[in-house]
Amino acid sequence: MAEIPRYARQTILPEVGREGQARLAEATVAVMGCGALGSVAATILARSGVGHLRLIDRDVVELHNLQRQVLYNEDDAARGVPKAAAAAERLQAVNGSIEVLPFVADVDHRNIEDLLVGCDVVVDAVDNFESRYLLNDAAVKHGIPWVYGGVIGVGGVSMPILPGDGPCFRCLFPSDPGPGAVETCDTAGILSTIVHIVSAFQATEALKLAMGRRDEVRRELLEIDAWSGESVLLRIHRREDCPVCVGRRFEHLEGERGSSATHMCGRDAVQIRPKTPAKLDLPDLAERLKAVGSVNCHPMLVRLEVEGYQLSIFADGRAIVHGAGDETVARAIYARYVGL
């Protein structure tokens, strides 16, 4: 086989070698979410020579993304271009010898299998639990390995999920914390360095899997704090009663779980209703949202004005997003500020 100068610094590594490089060229990897984690992971994978990349995202570029989403620029934000499209264009220019396909899509139970089937590995770069449960269902059902990653504040976590071999995401988080129960990066903030750290760990495991080096994949949950530099590896066990990897019941994939969005007739508003009703602590939510916009807390609801939208959030997790013309935008706004 002829030497490939482009990847010389990588093929010389005993961990990769020419064989590993050839496997990468044949591999298909999906990056689900092209925000902060997705920007970094997709860049690493494209430059490393992964032959087929699928970039999936529902959102458009905004100015406040640029602090940490390294694939985008001010022009993208001014034009509001879809992240998946901008990312694919940029990475195709970085490496013309690979195939980079953008999918501008709001991933749900109807389309996720089409988007992911045929992939050797999926990198999780989404920003909410609902999407991860959906990804976990699809991945376990089809036996596709994926790499969980999450960042918030100055800390982050990552764990590879190998279907049929060890715990799945539902073993790690048996129940959804529910809307409004956890901070989102829009309410708690995010340090850009933790994005690079967690994403680099995710990409490392994804490269191993794409090269067929499954036996070398790290099995533990990594928790890391970018500010203190402290990290810990935790061994997670498979749960005997896990409905997904043990019971093979895929509730999220069948649309039995997860939120629903309804466009409200005659109004420029969309109602978001979580499938499992939440019990929100409204004063607590109001306090947290004060960091991002103008907030009014009533006994029955919290009103938030942010980015030109008005959200009315009720104690059961239901919300009406005013000013959102379609359901995809409303879901994104809800996920950003209330969390799923």
Least spacing, CB of residue 240 vs Zn ion, in Å: 10
Q: Burial letters for 22-44: b for 16+ Cβ neighbours within 10 Å, e otherwise?
A: bbbbebbbbbbbbbbbbbbbbbb
Least spacing, CB of residue 87 vs Zn ion, in Å: 31
Q: Considering only residues 115, 157, 242, 304, which one is a binding residue for Zn ion as defined by CB under 5 A?
A: 242
Three-state secondary-structure class, residue 160? strand
In the shown chain, the binding pattern of residues 155 to 174 toward Zn ion, with x for contact by CB under 5 A and - for none, equals -------------x-xx---
Half-sphere exposure of 114 (CA within 13 A, CB side): 8
Q: Candidates 210-218, 240-248, 251-259, 326-334: pick the segment binding Zn ion (CB under 5 A).
A: 240-248
Least spacing, CB of residue 238 vs Zn ion, in Å: 6
Give the dihedral sign, CA 205/242/315/333: positive
Query: Residue 265 burial by CB count (10 A; 0-12/13-18/19+): exposed, middle or buried?
Result: exposed
Our measurement of the distance from residue 127's CA atom to the centroid of its chain's CA atoms, rounded to an integer in Å, reads: 5
Considering only residues 81 through 120, tell me which ones interact with Zn ion, judged by CB under 5 A: none
Least spacing, CB of residue 119 vs Zn ion, in Å: 20
Q: How far, in Å, CA of 135 to CA of 117, rounded?
A: 11
Please provide the DSSP assignment of 274-311 as one string.
-SS-----HHHHHHHHTTTSEEEE-SSEEEEEETTEEE
By beta-carbon proximity to Zn ion, the closer residue of 98 and 122 is 122
Q: How far, in Å, CA of 211 to CA of 208, rounded?
A: 5
Number of residues that bind Zn ion (CB under 5 A): 6
Span between the terminal Cα atoms of the chain, in Å: 49
By beta-carbon proximity to Zn ion, the closer residue of 160 and 317 is 160
Relative to beta strand 99-104, strand 121-124 is unpaired
By beta-carbon proximity to Zn ion, the closer residue of 126 and 245 is 245
Provide the β-strand partners of residue 126: none
In the shown chain, the binding pattern of residues 118 to 157 toward Zn ion, with x for contact by CB under 5 A and - for none, equals ----------------------------------------
Nearest to 106 by CA among 259, 276, 271, 264: 259
Q: Considering only residues 88, 135, 245, 289, which one is a binding residue for Zn ion as defined by CB under 5 A?
A: 245
By beta-carbon proximity to Zn ion, the closer residue of 139 and 224 is 139
Least spacing, CB of residue 213 vs Zn ion, in Å: 23
By beta-carbon proximity to Zn ion, the closer residue of 23 and 170 is 170
Least spacing, CB of residue 168 vs Zn ion, in Å: 3
Residue 252 binds to Zn ion (criterion: CB under 5 A): no
Least spacing, CB of residue 21 vs Zn ion, in Å: 33
Nearest to 310 by CA among 318, 301, 321, 300: 321
Q: Candidates 13-21, 73-81, 223-231, 237-245: pick the segment binding Zn ion (CB under 5 A).
A: 237-245
By beta-carbon proximity to Zn ion, the closer residue of 250 and 337 is 250
Q: Candidates 17-25, 85-93, 203-211, 234-242: pick the segment binding Zn ion (CB under 5 A).
A: 234-242
Catalog residues that contact Zn ion under the rule CB under 5 A: 168, 170-171, 242, 244-245
